[in-house]
């Protein structure tokens, strides 16, 4: 069948535009401009897949005035970067992204306070040194989803999956906001990955890069200063400039539109509705620095296709409670200070109770609830814990002991825990010096006894966190602080529920017959690791604590 298909290009300040495509043997079809700033034309097309692009008289200052340039549709949902064309698929007389049919939309997904997040780079998640197969695609990641479910993960945060230049990158320089990265697989493959996550009760968050774009983003070629700041948004901070920055202040009075708001709002709605994502991590929020826009954008994101939870997360470094609700525009902030304060403590470099208490109880930093922070030990941007330990000469058994200590802190602190892929079994690769350098995680490490033991430790802690609601509450009290012994003890609880006590020894010395006073009251206390009953006397609990270890006690 054939049908009338419309092609549109929003370019209010440009004088002329035309359409070219495989449907017209790449001959130009002039486009009409209307009062609303759109160029458009209509063609009769049979069902099928076509390549196309626009020619437009540019208004960008790096070209001659009104010079004709060829651009890919800024709204193209599939692109071929090598051919420099957009791809459109027509089925039953309508434009479609693909023919994927969702299978698992009805499965209930965990609420935000229940989450344990796993940050993943699709290309580096599968494969590895001894694996002859390169892998690194959505379909390969699907094969590992049972592994994540068994670990206890119930949310995956994907590093950017928008189409970026080249075949390998972290993806933080987006060129095509509606298209997916073709080196990972097709749009239908990505939907299958998300659907398969949902079938296992795992939510999927995407990384949203709305501060800046790649230099060859189509909007840059059409009319640079309509969508972007003319100059650097923060010239005093050149180290945090990553490319042309969207101008969220620009208002087109004639059309009553804020161009950058309109475009990025369309992007977010498209991803939520087309890909059924369950949350967005907003990159570079400190540089974007427009809370009014972010508040509006977060509302767009929550216009879901289904009544299910959504999570809007800020990457704002250094972290700040100002970005989270109720005052701020987003639900949560990456809790950089957790990483920043915890790592030196576990490396034995300092012991500052105030710093520890601040990050274990983010209310002391102004955050209203635990749902407002995402705690982590490392991310794609930060060195792995084992690398930090190794840099300080801490290896072997000692490194694994400390890794368990911080795992216990991560899973029992107030806030939502997040793992950087491979952290759960002691991956120790150095951070990529270049974002174009593959760093596949080394799955063979899991075959080592110590690494597998760490994995099981994480698995147990995650189960405790998910099943003991005291750890999802906003209640935390520090009841024993001993700066000389480098000891800290705190209790988490839920009204009419169980209590969880965590006792941490940050000392290189063993504490023998140590008395922990003011131990909370309960009918029975159990050492969670050994599953044995413990007796709490009049003066408190007397116990031995090995160097750099945490003990966890659960009331029942």
Provide the H-helix boundaries in 185-250: 187-199, 218-227
Across 154-189, b (16+ Cβ under 10 Å) vs e yields bbbbbbbbbbbeeebbbbbbbbbbbbbbbbbbbbeb
φ/ψ bin of 92: left (φ > 0), alpha (ψ from -120 to 50), beta (otherwise)? left
Provide the Cα torsion 61, 64, 66, 67; round to 10°.
-120
Token couple for 193: 């990955």
Among positive and negative, which fits the CA dihedral 463, 430, 239, 211? negative
Q: Which residue of the set 124, 196, 315, 361 is catalytic?
A: 315
Token couple for 51: 């390549």
Give the integer Cα–Cα distance in Å for 547 and 412: 19
User: What is Dmax (Cα atoms) for the chain?
Assistant: 90
Provide the H-helix boundaries in 152-258: 187-199, 218-227
CB 45 within 8 A of CB 23: yes
DSSP letter string over 179-190?
A: EE-GGG--HHHH
533 is catalytic: no
Give the integer Cα–Cα distance in Å for 532 and 331: 39
Token couple for 32: 């009409």
Token couple for 140: 């390969």
CA 146 to chain centre: 20
Give the three-class secondary structure for 476.
strand
67 is catalytic: no
Q: Which residue of the set 78, 196, 283, 423 is catalytic?
A: 283
Residues involved in catalysis:
283, 315
């Amino acid at each position: 069948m054939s049908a009338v298909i419309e092609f549109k290009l929003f370019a209010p300040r440009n004088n002329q535009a035309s359409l070219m495509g495989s449907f017209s043997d790449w001959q130009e079809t002039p486009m009409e401009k209307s009062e609303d700033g759109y160029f458009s034309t209509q063609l009769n097309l049979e069902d099928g897949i076509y390549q196309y692009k626009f020619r437009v008289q540019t208004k960008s200052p790096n070209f001659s005035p009104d010079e004709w340039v060829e651009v890919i549709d800024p709204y193209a949902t599939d692109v071929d970067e090598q051919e420099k064309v957009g791809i459109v698929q027509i089925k039953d007389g309508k434009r479609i992204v693909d023919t994927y049919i969702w299978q698992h939309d009805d499965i209930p997904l965990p609420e935000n306070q229940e989450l344990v997040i796993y940050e993943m780079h699709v290309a580096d998640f599968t494969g590895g040194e001894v694996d002859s197969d390169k892998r690194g695609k959505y379909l390969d990641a699907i094969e590992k989803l049972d592994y994540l479910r068994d670990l206890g993960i119930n949310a995956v945060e994907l590093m950017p999956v928008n189409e970026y230049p080249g075949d390998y990158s972290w993806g933080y320089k987006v060129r095509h906001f509606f298209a997916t990265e073709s080196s990972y697989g097709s749009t239908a493959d990505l939907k299958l990955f998300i659907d398969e996550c949902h079938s296992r009760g795992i939510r999927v968050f995407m990384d949203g890069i709305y501060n800046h774009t790649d230099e060859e983003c189509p909007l840059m070629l059409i009319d640079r200063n309509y969508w972007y700041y003319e100059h650097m948004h923060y010239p005093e901070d050149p180290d945090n400039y990553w490319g042309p920055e969207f101008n969220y202040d620009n208002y087109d009075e004639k059309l009553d539109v804020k161009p950058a708001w309109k475009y990025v709002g369309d992007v977010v709605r498209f991803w939520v509705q087309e890909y059924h994502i369950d949350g967005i991590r907003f990159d570079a929020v400190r540089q974007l620095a427009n809370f009014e826009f972010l508040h509006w954008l977060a509302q767009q994101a929550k216009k879901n296709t289904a009544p299910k939870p959504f999570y809007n997360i800020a990457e704002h470094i250094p972290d700040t409670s100002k970005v989270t609700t109720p005052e701020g525009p987003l639900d949560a902030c990456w809790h950089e200070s957790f990483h920043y304060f915890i790592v030196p403590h576990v490396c034995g470099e300092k012991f500052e109770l105030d710093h520890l208490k601040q990050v274990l109880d983010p209310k002391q930093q102004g955050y209203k609830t635990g749902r407002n922070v995402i705690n982590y030990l490392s991310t794609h941007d930060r060195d792995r814990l084992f690398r930090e330990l190794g840099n300080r000469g801490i290896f072997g058994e000692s490194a694994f002991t400390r890794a368990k200590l911080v795992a216990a802190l991560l899973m029992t602190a107030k806030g939502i825990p997040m793992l950087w892929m491979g952290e759960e079994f002691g991956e120790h690769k150095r951070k990529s010096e270049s974002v174009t350098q593959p760093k596949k995680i080394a799955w063979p490490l899991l075959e080592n006894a110590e690494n597998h033991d760490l994995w099981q430790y994480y698995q147990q802690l995650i189960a405790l966190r998910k099943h003991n609601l005291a750890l999802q509450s906003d209640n935390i009290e520090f009841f024993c602080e001993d700066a000389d012994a480098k000891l800290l003890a705190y209790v988490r609880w839920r009204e009419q529920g169980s209590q969880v006590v965590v006792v941490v020894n940050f000392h290189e010395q063993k504490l023998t017959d140590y008395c922990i006073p003011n131990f909370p009251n309960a009918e029975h206390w159990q050492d969670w690791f050994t599953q044995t009953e413990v007796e709490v006397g009049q003066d408190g609990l007397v116990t031995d604590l090995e160097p750099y270890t945490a003990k966890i006690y659960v009331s029942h």
